[in-house]
Amino acid sequence: MDPNDCNSEGEKQLKNRYYLFQKSKSYKLFYYDNKIGRNMKQELIAELFNNFLKFVKNTNAKTKSKMKK
């Protein structure tokens, strides 16, 4: 919706305002989506890393118990 293709001055101002509002709204949505996405990625990486550490601890415990026998 381009503000330049309209008839009267009032209509032009109204469309211009709406156009800017839409632009700012989409920018905010994009920004918040990005922020949420980044936080989710960090949480996911932390969770995967913790799972990996648990796996390493378990395998170390298993190999140590096998070595004792």
Per-residue tens of pLDDT for the chain, all 69 residues: 454 555 677 777 777 777 776 666 665 555 555 666 667 777 777 888 888 888 888 887 777 666 665
Amino acid at 50: N
What is the rounded distance in angstroms from the CA atom of residue 11 to the CA atom of residue 63?
A: 77
What is the rounded distance in angstroms from the CA atom of residue 10 to the CA atom of residue 12?
A: 5
Q: Where are the domains of the chain?
A: 33-68
Phi, psi for 66 (deg, rounded to 5): -70, -35
| Chain center to CA of 50 | 21
pTM over 0.75: no
What is the rounded distance in angstroms from the CA atom of residue 51 to the CA atom of residue 57?
A: 10
